[in-house]
Structure 1
Amino acid sequence: MSSHHLRWQSLVVPVLVGVAIVVVVWWAGPGLFGSVSASGGTVAEATITTPAACTAADPKETVQFSSGGATHTGSLDACGHDKNDRVEITIPDDLGSGTVNVHLADVVVGHSGLRRPVGLALLALSCLSGAAYAFLVQRGSRRPEAVAA
């Protein structure tokens, strides 16, 4: 009986290490799995004036937006919107003159809003798998012994 007690006590270390890893990753913040914030600029509402088909190579849509009391034209790296659709865009701080390159405000290329919770869930699963492996190693082989005749 004491051997079962010893086995369960030996699992405390992998479980605590797994919990500590998840907590440290959580405290590390969203930067560990990539940043969700757009880099620089102001968020504004824009209207699609010329939509682009998503079948085109490197589609660009034309948008109109207001900034600083003036109406500007922007080139939006997006596709699939209809004419007069309203979208939120990120306007660069240095507008300049002419057509401005803008991006959708809630999109960062290559990332999604689910990456942090999914990353933490996968990390927790890997810690759980490590603890299960430690348990199996600690438990040893459970082959039935042959009865001698």
Structure 2
Amino acid sequence: MLRWKNLAVAGGVLRWRTLAVAVVVGIAVVTAVWWAGPGALGVTATGGGDTTQATVTAPAACTDANPTETVRFEHGGQNQTGTLDACGHDRDDRVSISIPADFGAGSTKVHLADVVQGHSDLRRPLGLALLALSCLGGGTYAFLVLRGPRREPALA
């Protein structure tokens, strides 16, 4: 009866196969998570609503305590006004905004379309890098377990 460590040491064939299987599985896991999209790593899209172009009508300086700008946009075939939680734009600048799904009549709060509060663009690549490192660590651990302990020659 053969033991795992005997198989792992025999000719070095199983060691390379073990390493190749660990590499292929790690690449498959990272690729599957990458294809699954941002939700797989906790990065979610904006909370619903439409995205449209707006024109800044009343800009705000970024030195204000709570800067808000007034924007004009078209929604549902009507011109609407909204309060944009941003600063630093000039009058008549065009910005892309996200209109909330529960949009009502009158003025409403809108957000910049490319900004999701609490998230940064580095979450996805960093999550994929950490996942790849964990796959590498798991593969290395499997390789070392299958290789077994090394025996040092006895000193005379």
Q: Secondary structure of 1:39's partner?
A: coil
Aligned structure 1 segments of 4 or more residues deviating by more than 4 angstroms? 139-143
Contact kept, 8 Å, 1:46 with 1:66, in 2: the verdict is yes
> Secondary structure of the equivalent of 1:109?
coil
1:18 maps to which residue?
Answer: 26
Whether the aligned pair in 2 keeps the contact of 1:7 and 1:139 (CA below 8 Å) is: no
Q: Does residue 31 in structure 1 map to residue 39 in structure 2?
A: yes
Cα RMSD (Å): 3.0
Amino acid paired to 1:83: R
How many percent of aligned residue pairs carry the same amino acid?
A: 59
Q: Which runs of 5+ in 2 are unaligned?
A: 1-8
Map 1:20-99 onto structure 2 (within 5 A): 20-33=28-41, 34-36=43-45, 38-99=46-107
SS of 2:111 mapped into structure 1: strand
Q: Secondary structure at the match of 2:140?
A: helix
Amino acid at match of 2:62: C
SS at match of 1:119: helix
Unpaired runs of at least 5, structure 1: none
Give the Å deviation of 1:140.
4.6
**TM-score, scaled to structure 1:** 0.72
Deviations along 1:44-78, one digit per CA (max 9) or x if unpaired, are 21111222333444432211112234322111122
Is 1:103–2:111 an aligned residue pair? Answer: yes
Residues matched between the structures, number: 146
TM-score (structure 2 length as normaliser): 0.70
